[in-house]
Amino acid sequence: MTDSAPALELRGITKRFGDLVANDAIDFDVRGGEVHALLGENGAGKTTVMRIAYGLTQADAGEIRVGVRPVTMRSPRDAIAAGIGMVTQHFALVRPMSVAENLALGRSTGLRLDLAEAGRRAAVASERFGIRVDPSARVIDLSVGQQQRVEILKALSRNCRILILDEPTAVLVPDEVDALFSTLRSLVAQGMSVVFISHKLAEVRAISDRVSVLRRGRLAGTVAGGTDEHELARMMVGRPTFGVERSQDAAGPAGAPILSIRGLHAAGTHGLSALSDVSLEVAAAEILGVAGVSGNGQTELVDVLCGMRRPTAGSVSVDGLELSAASPERMMRAGVGRIPEDRHASLVGDLSVAYNLVLERLDDFTHGGRIDEGRIRDHAAELIERFDIRARPEDPVATLSGGNIQKVLLARVISRDPRLLVVSQPTRGLDVGATEYVRSQLLARRAAGAAILLVSEDFDELLALSDRLIVMYEGRIVGEMAVADADVERIGMLMAGRGMAA
């Protein structure tokens, strides 16, 4: 049952990083026995304000109260002493050590660790909080979900009464998300206070009692946990959001084929077949969506089309030009643009936004062996404005939010006006606003006449963007249909290998 008194209260929290105001007079509280979600786009200030609450970052202004008592958080040690624990996306566990040893780290008062006592304490904590872990298991042998439970248990074993979870589902599979939510419900039933940082609307609605929404560093409002997703999305982005419905004929009829694949075969790991007799076409002004459970050849198909993997048989042509054995550079020169699923691997985090925007065409900005820094900066300034990238040309890409990193990648690729776009998981891990922006850019390219092959594990995304769908299973195309005629149940059966291509 929710306690009406705040267990943790933040008043007027303000934090600046140079000219950037990350938090602008944020008021937030969480009560005993509730889950209070902190929702917002990437870069909205969610993590920053909770890092302040945990002592990892110092506020420029504002007050923190635990119960009714003002406290000063100089470090996580102060937060732990005040009963606050925090679990981030990046676990702070010593992987070769056991669960018990990890729970004992920082608590031992002598020069030697009493392993038997550490194991006993871990077992007691596991039983008390209903979080089942084997104290003797080595962390390196645990799944990601089990490691997260160890992190939560580590915080709780230090007399934590207020638990902050930063994007806790980002690294979990659906079964692990269900287990986490079960754990959280058990904890709040015991009077625990939980702050749940997320940008996933459905999960926030499923687990939270209240939701506070941050937008561009400011508090947009606090509402009940069951508030309609469309209202939450509106609060996040400050405007109506891109839904799954759209006019399928918005760009007019598709044109002549740009991409043609015939009888494509490719090997996967350990010599096994990854693609088997794949044939498809994507026309100008058309988006072909690729549906399928991860690991059924989608990644290998994208690799072939980007020049990262050579097929063992078959042909790939773009505008009639044979490219089945082409290098990534030749693919790019042939008018192929690629948005890979791992956006970080396609950018250099330590380099500036400006340099990342020209990485694939640096020769165009080099004269007489010298790089034209001025042209690179001007080019970056133009694309930053055109693609609404919230950064400066000189900012290292690693300092940007996920949404802005994806915008840098989009800007680099789309500014070359490619004939064919090969796009994989374009909105994975992005918040509502960034997702809306990325999808709108893909539809704009379609309207401009580009052919787009879209691989996504977000089925709503495929329905929202695609004109046609193919379904892949074990490296083969097992179904094809127009989105207007899509039968969701049949597609699900095909994805599970339980149907046959028409």
Q: What phi and psi values does residue 270 have, to the nearest 5 degrees?
A: 55, 25
CATH tag, 6-237: 3.40.50.300
Q: How far apart are the first and last CA of the chain?
A: 54
In sequence order, the 6+-apart residues with CB closer than 8 A to the CB of 272 are none
Residue 110 pLDDT: 54
* Contact between 224 and 39 (Cβ < 8 Å): no
CATH tag, 257-335+418-495: 3.40.50.300
* Contact between 421 and 335 (Cβ < 8 Å): no
d(CA 309, CA 326): 9
Residue 244 pLDDT: 43
| Cβ-count burial 374-407 (b if 16+ within 10 Å, e if not) | eebbebbeebbeebebebbbebebeebbbbbbbb
d(CA 28, CA 18): 24
Between the CA atoms of 214, 219, 224 and 225, what dihedral angle is there, to the nearest 10 degrees? 20
* Contact between 470 and 267 (Cβ < 8 Å): no
User: Could you state, in chain order, the average pLDDT of each consecutive group of 10 residues for the chain (502 residues)?
Assistant: 81 89 95 94 84 95 94 94 88 87 71 73 79 86 83 85 88 75 91 90 90 92 90 72 45 75 87 89 97 85 93 96 92 94 87 93 87 94 93 93 91 95 89 86 95 89 93 92 85 71 44
Q: How would DSSP label each residue in 102-124?
A: HHHTTT--SSS--HHHHHHHHHH
Residue 28 pLDDT: 97
Between the CA atoms of 106, 109, 113 and 118, what dihedral angle is there, to the nearest 10 degrees? -70
Q: Are domains 6-237 and 257-335+418-495 of this chain identical in fold?
A: yes
C-alpha dist (Å) from residue 27 to 38, 42, 64, 75 = 12, 19, 10, 21
Most distant CA pair in the chain: distance in Å? Answer: 75
Contacts 24+ apart (CB under 8 A), 340-349: 340/302, 340/306, 340/424, 341/299, 341/302, 341/424, 341/425, 341/428, 341/455, 343/402, 343/405, 343/406, 343/409, 344/405, 346/409, 347/397, 347/405, 347/408, 347/409, 348/397, 349/396, 349/397, 349/398
d(CA 186, CA 163): 13
Q: What phi and psi values does residue 486 have, to the nearest 5 degrees?
A: -65, 135
In sequence order, the 6+-apart residues with CB closer than 8 A to the CB of 174 are none
- Going from N- to C-terminal start, the domains of the chain cover 6-237, 257-335+418-495
